[in-house]
Chain A
Amino acid sequence: MTASTLVSLDHVSKVFANGVAALGHFDLHVREGDFISLLGPSGCGKSTVLRLIAGLTEPTSGSVSWPGCNEADHRSEIGFVFQEPTLMPWADVADNVWLPLRLRGVSRWEARERIAESLALVGLKDFAKAYPRELSGGMKMRVSIARALSVKPRLLLMDEPFAALDEITRFKLNDDLLTLQSELNCTVVFVTHSVYESAYLSNRIAVLTPRPGRVIAEIAGVPVQERGSDFRTSMPYAELCRQVSQILTRNLADGGMA
Protein backbone atom coordinates (compact mmCIF):
# COMPACT_ATOMS: atom_id res chain seq x y z
CA MET A 1 0.00 0.00 0.00
CA THR A 2 1.40 3.40 -0.90
CA ALA A 3 0.50 6.41 1.22
CA SER A 4 -0.97 9.43 -0.52
CA THR A 5 1.16 12.49 -1.22
CA LEU A 6 0.67 15.27 1.31
CA VAL A 7 2.83 17.95 -0.30
CA SER A 8 4.87 18.03 -3.49
CA LEU A 9 7.73 20.29 -4.42
CA ASP A 10 8.34 20.06 -8.16
CA HIS A 11 11.33 21.63 -9.95
CA VAL A 12 11.48 24.27 -7.27
CA SER A 13 14.19 26.88 -7.37
CA LYS A 14 14.62 29.74 -5.00
CA VAL A 15 16.85 32.74 -5.62
CA PHE A 16 16.97 35.38 -2.89
CA ALA A 17 16.90 39.12 -3.54
CA ASN A 18 20.67 39.29 -2.95
CA GLY A 19 21.23 36.85 -5.84
CA VAL A 20 21.98 33.78 -3.71
CA ALA A 21 20.45 30.66 -5.25
CA ALA A 22 19.33 28.54 -2.32
CA LEU A 23 17.57 25.78 -4.27
CA GLY A 24 17.73 24.62 -7.87
CA HIS A 25 15.53 21.97 -9.48
CA PHE A 26 14.46 20.70 -6.11
CA ASP A 27 11.97 17.82 -6.10
CA LEU A 28 10.44 16.24 -3.03
CA HIS A 29 7.22 14.36 -2.47
CA VAL A 30 6.20 14.11 1.15
CA ARG A 31 3.80 11.23 1.78
CA GLU A 32 1.34 10.88 4.65
CA GLY A 33 3.05 9.33 7.65
CA ASP A 34 6.59 9.97 6.42
CA PHE A 35 9.42 10.99 8.67
CA ILE A 36 11.74 12.62 6.13
CA SER A 37 15.08 14.05 7.11
CA LEU A 38 16.65 16.66 4.87
CA LEU A 39 20.38 16.19 5.31
CA GLY A 40 23.01 18.40 3.78
CA PRO A 41 25.83 20.86 4.41
CA SER A 42 25.22 24.31 5.89
CA GLY A 43 23.62 26.75 3.48
CA CYS A 44 22.26 24.11 1.10
CA GLY A 45 18.72 25.43 1.40
CA LYS A 46 17.30 22.90 3.90
CA SER A 47 15.54 25.55 5.95
CA THR A 48 14.30 27.22 2.78
CA VAL A 49 12.49 23.98 1.90
CA LEU A 50 10.60 24.13 5.22
CA ARG A 51 9.75 27.80 4.73
CA LEU A 52 8.46 27.04 1.23
CA ILE A 53 6.28 24.22 2.52
CA ALA A 54 4.93 26.48 5.30
CA GLY A 55 4.14 29.20 2.78
CA LEU A 56 6.48 31.66 4.50
CA THR A 57 8.24 32.31 1.21
CA GLU A 58 7.39 31.74 -2.45
CA PRO A 59 9.44 29.70 -4.93
CA THR A 60 11.19 31.63 -7.71
CA SER A 61 10.13 28.91 -10.11
CA GLY A 62 8.51 25.50 -9.84
CA SER A 63 5.58 24.66 -7.61
CA VAL A 64 4.66 23.65 -4.09
CA SER A 65 1.35 21.84 -4.23
CA TRP A 66 -0.96 20.17 -1.76
CA PRO A 67 -2.92 17.48 -3.58
CA GLY A 68 -6.25 17.06 -1.90
CA CYS A 69 -6.52 20.27 0.09
CA ASN A 70 -6.67 23.99 -0.58
CA GLU A 71 -4.27 26.76 0.44
CA ALA A 72 -6.12 27.80 3.62
CA ASP A 73 -6.61 24.21 4.82
CA HIS A 74 -3.02 23.11 4.74
CA ARG A 75 -1.75 26.17 6.59
CA SER A 76 -3.95 25.33 9.54
CA GLU A 77 -2.47 21.85 9.72
CA ILE A 78 1.21 22.77 9.95
CA GLY A 79 3.27 22.77 13.12
CA PHE A 80 6.63 24.55 12.92
CA VAL A 81 9.57 24.04 15.27
CA PHE A 82 12.64 26.24 14.90
CA GLN A 83 16.27 25.59 15.77
CA GLU A 84 15.86 27.86 18.80
CA PRO A 85 12.89 27.34 21.12
CA THR A 86 11.65 30.84 20.10
CA LEU A 87 9.43 31.27 23.14
CA MET A 88 7.92 34.53 24.32
CA PRO A 89 9.86 35.24 27.53
CA TRP A 90 7.06 37.37 28.99
CA ALA A 91 4.47 34.59 28.75
CA ASP A 92 4.31 31.44 30.85
CA VAL A 93 4.54 27.98 29.30
CA ALA A 94 0.77 27.58 28.88
CA ASP A 95 0.42 30.95 27.18
CA ASN A 96 3.31 30.12 24.85
CA VAL A 97 1.59 26.89 23.85
CA TRP A 98 -1.68 28.79 23.41
CA LEU A 99 -0.14 31.25 20.90
CA PRO A 100 -1.05 29.53 17.57
CA LEU A 101 -4.61 28.97 18.78
CA ARG A 102 -4.85 32.48 20.16
CA LEU A 103 -3.86 33.88 16.77
CA ARG A 104 -6.75 31.96 15.30
CA GLY A 105 -9.16 33.49 17.75
CA VAL A 106 -9.47 30.56 20.17
CA SER A 107 -9.96 31.86 23.71
CA ARG A 108 -7.75 30.73 26.58
CA TRP A 109 -10.76 28.95 28.11
CA GLU A 110 -11.57 27.05 24.92
CA ALA A 111 -7.91 26.20 24.42
CA ARG A 112 -7.24 24.97 27.96
CA GLU A 113 -7.71 21.28 27.22
CA ARG A 114 -5.64 21.42 24.06
CA ILE A 115 -2.85 23.22 25.96
CA ALA A 116 -2.92 20.61 28.73
CA GLU A 117 -2.90 17.77 26.18
CA SER A 118 0.03 19.24 24.26
CA LEU A 119 2.03 19.77 27.44
CA ALA A 120 1.26 16.24 28.60
CA LEU A 121 2.48 14.88 25.25
CA VAL A 122 5.91 16.44 25.79
CA GLY A 123 5.99 15.53 29.50
CA LEU A 124 5.60 19.06 30.84
CA LYS A 125 2.11 19.03 32.29
CA ASP A 126 3.35 20.29 35.66
CA PHE A 127 5.14 23.26 34.16
CA ALA A 128 2.21 25.20 32.67
CA LYS A 129 2.76 28.16 34.98
CA ALA A 130 6.55 28.29 34.63
CA TYR A 131 8.28 31.03 32.68
CA PRO A 132 10.75 30.11 29.91
CA ARG A 133 13.71 31.45 31.93
CA GLU A 134 12.98 28.84 34.60
CA LEU A 135 13.38 25.94 32.15
CA SER A 136 16.41 24.06 30.86
CA GLY A 137 17.32 24.08 27.16
CA GLY A 138 15.67 20.70 26.60
CA MET A 139 12.49 21.74 28.40
CA LYS A 140 12.26 24.94 26.36
CA MET A 141 12.49 22.86 23.20
CA ARG A 142 9.72 20.60 24.52
CA VAL A 143 7.54 23.69 25.02
CA SER A 144 8.32 24.70 21.46
CA ILE A 145 7.23 21.24 20.27
CA ALA A 146 4.09 21.40 22.44
CA ARG A 147 3.25 24.75 20.83
CA ALA A 148 3.56 23.16 17.37
CA LEU A 149 1.39 20.23 18.53
CA SER A 150 -1.34 22.51 19.89
CA VAL A 151 -2.75 22.96 16.38
CA LYS A 152 -2.99 19.15 15.98
CA PRO A 153 -0.71 19.29 12.95
CA ARG A 154 -0.93 16.86 10.07
CA LEU A 155 2.53 18.00 9.07
CA LEU A 156 5.28 18.87 11.52
CA LEU A 157 8.15 20.96 10.11
CA MET A 158 11.26 20.88 12.29
CA ASP A 159 14.31 23.00 11.53
CA GLU A 160 17.31 21.46 13.34
CA PRO A 161 15.36 21.55 16.58
CA PHE A 162 17.88 19.65 18.68
CA ALA A 163 21.10 21.08 17.22
CA ALA A 164 21.82 23.28 20.23
CA LEU A 165 21.16 20.58 22.83
CA ASP A 166 23.58 18.26 24.58
CA GLU A 167 23.88 14.66 23.36
CA ILE A 168 21.98 13.07 26.28
CA THR A 169 19.02 15.46 25.96
CA ARG A 170 19.05 15.03 22.21
CA PHE A 171 18.88 11.21 22.43
CA LYS A 172 15.93 11.48 24.82
CA LEU A 173 14.11 13.98 22.63
CA ASN A 174 14.78 11.83 19.54
CA ASP A 175 13.00 8.91 21.23
CA ASP A 176 10.18 11.14 22.45
CA LEU A 177 9.70 12.56 18.97
CA LEU A 178 9.38 9.08 17.46
CA THR A 179 6.81 8.15 20.10
CA LEU A 180 4.91 11.37 19.44
CA GLN A 181 4.85 10.77 15.73
CA SER A 182 3.43 7.31 16.08
CA GLU A 183 0.87 8.46 18.70
CA LEU A 184 -0.29 11.44 16.66
CA ASN A 185 0.13 9.76 13.32
CA CYS A 186 1.52 12.92 11.78
CA THR A 187 4.03 13.50 9.01
CA VAL A 188 7.39 15.04 9.84
CA VAL A 189 9.90 16.90 7.68
CA PHE A 190 13.03 17.23 9.75
CA VAL A 191 16.04 19.34 8.83
CA THR A 192 19.35 18.22 10.27
CA HIS A 193 23.05 18.18 9.53
CA SER A 194 23.61 15.14 11.70
CA VAL A 195 24.00 11.84 9.84
CA TYR A 196 23.33 9.91 13.06
CA GLU A 197 20.16 11.83 13.88
CA SER A 198 18.76 11.45 10.39
CA ALA A 199 19.49 7.71 10.41
CA TYR A 200 17.90 7.27 13.81
CA LEU A 201 14.70 9.19 13.18
CA SER A 202 13.72 8.80 9.57
CA ASN A 203 12.03 6.38 7.25
CA ARG A 204 13.37 8.50 4.37
CA ILE A 205 16.62 10.46 4.27
CA ALA A 206 16.97 13.02 1.47
CA VAL A 207 20.58 14.05 0.96
CA LEU A 208 20.97 17.54 -0.49
CA THR A 209 23.79 18.95 -2.62
CA PRO A 210 25.62 22.12 -1.59
CA ARG A 211 23.96 25.35 -2.71
CA PRO A 212 21.85 25.51 -4.82
CA GLY A 213 20.37 22.53 -3.03
CA ARG A 214 18.64 19.64 -4.70
CA VAL A 215 18.04 16.06 -3.63
CA ILE A 216 20.98 14.00 -4.81
CA ALA A 217 20.04 10.75 -3.14
CA GLU A 218 17.24 9.30 -1.11
CA ILE A 219 17.92 6.53 1.36
CA ALA A 220 15.30 4.42 3.08
CA GLY A 221 15.62 4.29 6.87
CA VAL A 222 14.82 1.37 9.13
CA PRO A 223 11.05 1.43 9.86
CA VAL A 224 10.31 2.07 13.53
CA GLN A 225 8.28 -1.14 13.85
CA GLU A 226 11.27 -3.19 12.71
CA ARG A 227 13.62 -1.75 15.30
CA GLY A 228 14.66 -3.30 18.57
CA SER A 229 15.05 -1.37 21.80
CA ASP A 230 18.82 -1.30 21.22
CA PHE A 231 18.55 0.20 17.74
CA ARG A 232 21.04 2.98 18.46
CA THR A 233 23.82 0.45 19.09
CA SER A 234 22.69 -2.10 16.50
CA MET A 235 24.43 -3.17 13.29
CA PRO A 236 21.60 -2.05 10.94
CA TYR A 237 21.83 1.45 12.44
CA ALA A 238 25.63 1.52 12.09
CA GLU A 239 25.34 0.28 8.51
CA LEU A 240 22.73 2.94 7.70
CA CYS A 241 24.96 5.67 9.18
CA ARG A 242 27.90 4.39 7.11
CA GLN A 243 25.83 4.39 3.95
CA VAL A 244 24.48 7.92 4.52
CA SER A 245 27.93 9.24 5.46
CA GLN A 246 29.42 7.80 2.27
CA ILE A 247 26.82 9.46 0.08
CA LEU A 248 27.19 12.75 1.91
CA THR A 249 31.00 12.70 1.64
CA ARG A 250 30.93 11.79 -2.04
CA ASN A 251 28.31 14.47 -2.62
CA LEU A 252 30.47 17.11 -0.92
CA ALA A 253 33.55 16.06 -2.91
CA ASP A 254 31.58 16.29 -6.17
CA GLY A 255 30.03 19.59 -5.16
CA GLY A 256 33.50 21.00 -4.55
CA MET A 257 32.69 22.69 -1.24
CA ALA A 258 31.98 21.88 2.36
Chain B
Amino acid sequence: MTRNPLKLVLPLTVFVAAIAFWELYVRMAAVPPYILPAPSLIAATMKDDWPLLSSSLMTTLETTLAALVLAVIGGVALAMALSLSRIVEYSLYPFAVVLQVTPVIAIAPLLLIYMPQDVAVLACAWLVAFFPILSNTMLGLQSVDRNLLELFQLYGASARQDWRARLRSRLKAFWHLRRPAALPAFLAGLRIAGGLSLIGAVVAEMAAGSAGAGSGLAYRIIESQYRLNIPRLFAALVLLALTGVALFLFLSLLTRFLLRHWHESALPREV
Protein backbone atom coordinates (compact mmCIF):
# COMPACT_ATOMS: atom_id res chain seq x y z
CA MET B 1 0.00 0.00 0.00
CA THR B 2 1.51 3.34 -1.00
CA ARG B 3 0.61 6.39 1.03
CA ASN B 4 0.55 9.86 -0.35
CA PRO B 5 3.23 11.80 1.62
CA LEU B 6 1.40 15.07 0.86
CA LYS B 7 -1.37 13.96 3.20
CA LEU B 8 1.04 14.29 6.10
CA VAL B 9 3.38 17.01 4.83
CA LEU B 10 0.72 19.56 3.85
CA PRO B 11 -1.20 19.83 7.14
CA LEU B 12 2.10 19.77 9.08
CA THR B 13 3.44 22.65 6.99
CA VAL B 14 0.25 24.66 7.49
CA PHE B 15 0.37 23.95 11.24
CA VAL B 16 4.03 24.96 11.63
CA ALA B 17 3.48 28.09 9.51
CA ALA B 18 0.43 29.13 11.56
CA ILE B 19 2.33 28.66 14.85
CA ALA B 20 5.32 30.59 13.50
CA PHE B 21 3.05 33.41 12.30
CA TRP B 22 1.31 33.51 15.70
CA GLU B 23 4.64 33.66 17.57
CA LEU B 24 6.00 36.37 15.27
CA TYR B 25 2.85 38.45 15.45
CA VAL B 26 2.72 38.36 19.27
CA ARG B 27 6.40 39.30 19.55
CA MET B 28 6.40 42.03 16.91
CA ALA B 29 3.11 43.59 17.95
CA ALA B 30 4.02 43.17 21.63
CA VAL B 31 0.61 41.70 22.43
CA PRO B 32 0.28 41.31 26.21
CA PRO B 33 0.03 37.66 27.36
CA TYR B 34 -3.37 38.25 29.06
CA ILE B 35 -4.76 39.07 25.59
CA LEU B 36 -2.96 36.52 23.45
CA PRO B 37 0.00 34.50 24.76
CA ALA B 38 2.68 33.39 22.32
CA PRO B 39 2.90 29.64 21.58
CA SER B 40 6.29 29.56 23.33
CA LEU B 41 4.70 30.98 26.49
CA ILE B 42 1.88 28.45 26.30
CA ALA B 43 4.46 25.66 26.02
CA ALA B 44 6.38 27.06 28.98
CA THR B 45 3.17 27.33 31.02
CA MET B 46 2.30 23.78 30.13
CA LYS B 47 5.71 22.67 31.46
CA ASP B 48 5.55 24.79 34.63
CA ASP B 49 1.94 23.95 35.45
CA TRP B 50 2.21 20.31 34.39
CA PRO B 51 1.50 18.81 37.85
CA LEU B 52 -1.74 20.79 38.07
CA LEU B 53 -2.71 20.41 34.42
CA SER B 54 -1.88 16.72 34.25
CA SER B 55 -4.06 15.91 37.25
CA SER B 56 -6.88 17.91 35.62
CA LEU B 57 -6.25 16.07 32.37
CA MET B 58 -6.52 12.74 34.18
CA THR B 59 -9.82 13.80 35.76
CA THR B 60 -11.34 14.83 32.41
CA LEU B 61 -9.93 11.77 30.71
CA GLU B 62 -11.35 9.46 33.36
CA THR B 63 -14.80 11.06 33.03
CA THR B 64 -14.66 10.91 29.23
CA LEU B 65 -13.55 7.28 29.03
CA ALA B 66 -15.91 6.11 31.77
CA ALA B 67 -18.79 7.89 30.00
CA LEU B 68 -17.81 6.33 26.69
CA VAL B 69 -17.57 2.82 28.14
CA LEU B 70 -20.91 3.21 29.93
CA ALA B 71 -22.46 4.66 26.75
CA VAL B 72 -21.25 1.61 24.80
CA ILE B 73 -22.65 -0.78 27.40
CA GLY B 74 -25.96 1.09 27.75
CA GLY B 75 -26.36 1.94 24.07
CA VAL B 76 -25.59 -1.55 22.81
CA ALA B 77 -27.68 -3.27 25.49
CA LEU B 78 -30.68 -1.05 24.80
CA ALA B 79 -30.26 -1.37 21.01
CA MET B 80 -30.22 -5.16 21.43
CA ALA B 81 -33.33 -5.09 23.58
CA LEU B 82 -35.08 -2.75 21.14
CA SER B 83 -34.19 -4.89 18.15
CA LEU B 84 -35.24 -8.13 19.84
CA SER B 85 -38.61 -6.86 21.04
CA ARG B 86 -41.05 -4.45 19.45
CA ILE B 87 -42.73 -3.89 22.85
CA VAL B 88 -39.46 -2.66 24.36
CA GLU B 89 -38.83 -0.50 21.29
CA TYR B 90 -42.21 1.22 21.42
CA SER B 91 -41.96 1.69 25.22
CA LEU B 92 -38.44 3.09 25.51
CA TYR B 93 -37.21 4.62 22.27
CA PRO B 94 -39.21 7.91 22.55
CA PHE B 95 -37.60 8.57 25.95
CA ALA B 96 -34.13 8.00 24.52
CA VAL B 97 -34.96 10.59 21.84
CA VAL B 98 -36.24 13.08 24.43
CA LEU B 99 -33.01 12.69 26.43
CA GLN B 100 -30.98 13.25 23.29
CA VAL B 101 -32.77 16.36 22.02
CA THR B 102 -32.77 18.12 25.41
CA PRO B 103 -29.48 20.12 25.60
CA VAL B 104 -27.23 18.58 28.24
CA ILE B 105 -26.27 22.01 29.58
CA ALA B 106 -29.91 22.44 30.59
CA ILE B 107 -30.02 19.09 32.40
CA ALA B 108 -26.67 19.51 34.15
CA PRO B 109 -27.85 21.84 36.96
CA LEU B 110 -30.60 19.38 37.86
CA LEU B 111 -28.22 16.44 37.90
CA LEU B 112 -25.85 18.44 40.11
CA ILE B 113 -28.66 18.92 42.60
CA TYR B 114 -29.66 15.25 42.67
CA MET B 115 -26.26 13.53 42.47
CA PRO B 116 -22.78 13.86 43.90
CA GLN B 117 -20.75 16.12 41.64
CA ASP B 118 -18.49 13.50 40.03
CA VAL B 119 -21.46 11.24 39.31
CA ALA B 120 -23.43 14.15 37.83
CA VAL B 121 -20.53 15.06 35.52
CA LEU B 122 -20.26 11.45 34.43
CA ALA B 123 -24.03 11.25 33.88
CA CYS B 124 -23.95 14.35 31.66
CA ALA B 125 -21.13 12.99 29.53
CA TRP B 126 -22.92 9.65 29.32
CA LEU B 127 -26.18 11.26 28.21
CA VAL B 128 -24.51 12.95 25.25
CA ALA B 129 -22.46 9.92 24.20
CA PHE B 130 -25.19 7.36 24.66
CA PHE B 131 -27.57 8.28 21.86
CA PRO B 132 -25.29 8.04 18.79
CA ILE B 133 -24.32 4.55 19.91
CA LEU B 134 -27.93 3.55 20.48
CA SER B 135 -29.27 4.93 17.20
CA ASN B 136 -26.34 3.74 15.06
CA THR B 137 -26.35 0.27 16.60
CA MET B 138 -30.09 0.02 16.07
CA LEU B 139 -29.71 1.11 12.47
CA GLY B 140 -26.98 -1.51 11.99
CA LEU B 141 -28.99 -4.27 13.65
CA GLN B 142 -31.94 -3.51 11.41
CA SER B 143 -29.99 -3.18 8.14
CA VAL B 144 -29.62 -6.88 7.62
CA ASP B 145 -30.16 -8.45 4.22
CA ARG B 146 -33.72 -9.82 4.19
CA ASN B 147 -32.66 -12.84 2.18
CA LEU B 148 -30.05 -13.73 4.78
CA LEU B 149 -32.72 -13.50 7.47
CA GLU B 150 -34.83 -15.91 5.40
CA LEU B 151 -31.86 -18.28 5.19
CA PHE B 152 -31.71 -18.18 8.97
CA GLN B 153 -35.42 -18.90 9.10
CA LEU B 154 -34.97 -21.81 6.71
CA TYR B 155 -31.91 -23.41 8.26
CA GLY B 156 -31.98 -22.13 11.82
CA ALA B 157 -35.62 -22.46 12.78
CA SER B 158 -36.47 -25.13 15.25
CA ALA B 159 -39.35 -27.50 14.57
CA ARG B 160 -40.77 -26.41 17.93
CA GLN B 161 -42.65 -23.14 17.87
CA ASP B 162 -42.95 -22.15 21.54
CA TRP B 163 -41.60 -18.79 22.80
CA ARG B 164 -38.34 -20.35 23.97
CA ALA B 165 -37.61 -21.78 20.52
CA ARG B 166 -38.48 -18.42 18.93
CA LEU B 167 -36.24 -16.53 21.33
CA ARG B 168 -33.41 -19.00 20.69
CA SER B 169 -33.69 -18.59 16.93
CA ARG B 170 -33.79 -14.78 17.32
CA LEU B 171 -30.68 -14.90 19.48
CA LYS B 172 -28.99 -17.13 16.91
CA ALA B 173 -29.81 -14.65 14.12
CA PHE B 174 -28.63 -11.88 16.40
CA TRP B 175 -25.28 -13.46 17.12
CA HIS B 176 -24.42 -14.80 13.67
CA LEU B 177 -26.02 -12.15 11.50
CA ARG B 178 -27.19 -8.92 13.13
CA ARG B 179 -24.13 -8.50 15.35
CA PRO B 180 -21.51 -8.55 12.56
CA ALA B 181 -23.81 -6.66 10.18
CA ALA B 182 -24.20 -3.89 12.76
CA LEU B 183 -20.48 -3.52 13.43
CA PRO B 184 -19.73 -0.75 10.86
CA ALA B 185 -22.69 1.38 11.98
CA PHE B 186 -21.82 0.77 15.64
CA LEU B 187 -18.21 1.86 15.05
CA ALA B 188 -19.39 5.01 13.24
CA GLY B 189 -21.56 5.75 16.29
CA LEU B 190 -18.60 5.05 18.57
CA ARG B 191 -16.43 7.60 16.74
CA ILE B 192 -19.14 10.23 17.14
CA ALA B 193 -19.70 9.24 20.77
CA GLY B 194 -15.95 9.50 21.50
CA GLY B 195 -15.95 13.19 20.61
CA LEU B 196 -19.31 13.80 22.26
CA SER B 197 -18.30 12.17 25.56
CA LEU B 198 -15.40 14.65 25.77
CA ILE B 199 -17.77 17.54 24.96
CA GLY B 200 -20.26 16.22 27.53
CA ALA B 201 -17.53 15.95 30.18
CA VAL B 202 -16.34 19.50 29.48
CA VAL B 203 -19.85 20.98 29.50
CA ALA B 204 -20.71 19.21 32.75
CA GLU B 205 -17.41 20.22 34.35
CA MET B 206 -18.12 23.82 33.40
CA ALA B 207 -21.59 23.63 34.90
CA ALA B 208 -20.17 22.01 38.02
CA GLY B 209 -17.17 24.36 38.02
CA SER B 210 -19.36 27.42 37.96
CA ALA B 211 -20.90 26.15 41.18
CA GLY B 212 -17.46 26.49 42.73
CA ALA B 213 -15.99 23.01 42.64
CA GLY B 214 -14.27 20.58 40.27
CA SER B 215 -10.81 19.80 39.07
CA GLY B 216 -11.01 18.80 35.40
CA LEU B 217 -9.52 20.70 32.44
CA ALA B 218 -12.78 22.58 31.82
CA TYR B 219 -12.70 23.80 35.40
CA ARG B 220 -9.09 24.94 34.90
CA ILE B 221 -10.24 26.92 31.86
CA ILE B 222 -12.99 28.69 33.82
CA GLU B 223 -10.62 29.27 36.73
CA SER B 224 -7.90 30.67 34.44
CA GLN B 225 -10.42 32.94 32.80
CA TYR B 226 -11.44 34.41 36.16
CA ARG B 227 -7.80 34.88 37.14
CA LEU B 228 -6.84 36.25 33.72
CA ASN B 229 -4.22 33.48 33.51
CA ILE B 230 -4.70 33.25 29.75
CA PRO B 231 -1.52 31.19 29.06
CA ARG B 232 -2.84 28.46 31.37
CA LEU B 233 -6.25 28.72 29.73
CA PHE B 234 -4.58 28.10 26.37
CA ALA B 235 -2.49 25.25 27.79
CA ALA B 236 -5.65 23.54 29.12
CA LEU B 237 -7.34 24.13 25.78
CA VAL B 238 -4.42 22.53 23.92
CA LEU B 239 -4.63 19.50 26.21
CA LEU B 240 -8.37 19.20 25.55
CA ALA B 241 -7.82 19.40 21.80
CA LEU B 242 -5.05 16.79 21.99
CA THR B 243 -7.32 14.51 24.03
CA GLY B 244 -10.03 14.83 21.37
CA VAL B 245 -7.56 14.12 18.57
CA ALA B 246 -6.09 11.11 20.41
CA LEU B 247 -9.55 9.70 21.05
CA PHE B 248 -10.56 10.17 17.42
CA LEU B 249 -7.34 8.59 16.12
CA PHE B 250 -7.68 5.62 18.47
CA LEU B 251 -11.30 4.99 17.48
CA SER B 252 -10.48 5.39 13.77
CA LEU B 253 -7.64 2.87 14.08
CA LEU B 254 -9.92 0.49 15.98
CA THR B 255 -12.53 0.81 13.22
CA ARG B 256 -9.97 0.15 10.52
CA PHE B 257 -8.60 -2.85 12.41
CA LEU B 258 -12.01 -4.45 12.97
CA LEU B 259 -13.30 -3.86 9.44
CA ARG B 260 -10.02 -4.32 7.57
CA HIS B 261 -11.01 -7.54 5.79
CA TRP B 262 -14.38 -6.70 4.41
CA HIS B 263 -15.83 -3.25 4.77
CA GLU B 264 -15.39 -0.70 1.98
CA SER B 265 -14.69 2.09 4.47
CA ALA B 266 -11.63 0.29 5.83
CA LEU B 267 -10.15 -0.89 2.55
CA PRO B 268 -7.32 0.96 0.85
CA ARG B 269 -8.54 2.92 -2.14
CA GLU B 270 -7.25 1.59 -5.42
CA VAL B 271 -5.41 4.06 -7.61
Given A82-B147, A86-B147: A103 and B152 within 8 A (CB)?
yes
Indicate if B145 sits at the interface (CB-CB under 8 A).
Answer: yes
Q: Contact between B154 and A54 (Cβ–Cβ < 8 Å)?
A: yes
Interface positions of A from 77 to 116, Cβ below 8 Å from B: 78, 80, 82, 84, 86, 88-91, 99-100, 102-104
Asked if B263 is at the interface (CB within 8 A of a chain A CB), the reply is yes
Instruction: Say what secondary structure dominates the interface of chain B.
Output: helix
Q: Is the CB of B159 within 8 A of A72?
A: yes
Binary flags per residue of B120-157, CB closer than 8 Å to A gives 1, else 0: 00000000000000000000000001011011111111
CB of A250 within 8 Å of the partner chain: no
Checking B156, B181, B262 against A103 with a beta-carbon cut-off of 8 angstroms, the contacting residue is B156
Report which residue of B145, B151, B267 has the largest number of chain A beta carbons within 10 angstroms of its beta carbon. B151
**Is the pair B147, A90 in contact by a Cβ cutoff of 8 Å?**
no
Q: How far is the CB of A96 from chain B (nearest CB, A)?
A: 10
A56 with B154: CB separation less than 8 A: yes
- Chain B residues with CB under 8 Å of A132's CB are 262
Given contacts A82-B147, A88-B180, whether A104 and B262 have CB atoms under 8 Å apart is no
Interface size on A, residues (CB 8 A): 25
Q: A54-B154, A80-B154 are in contact. Are A88 and B183 (CB under 8 A)?
A: no
Nearest CB in chain B: distance from A73 CB, A: 10
Give, as a whole number of angstroms, the nearest-CB distance from B266 to chain A.
11
In angstroms, Cα B150 to Cα A82, docked, is: 10
Interface residues of B (CB under 8 A from A): 145, 147-148, 150-157, 159, 172, 176-177, 180-181, 183, 261-264, 267
Query: Could you pull out 7 A-B pairs where Cβ atoms are within 8 angstroms?
Result: A51-B150, A55-B154, A56-B153, A80-B154, A89-B263, A103-B176, A133-B264
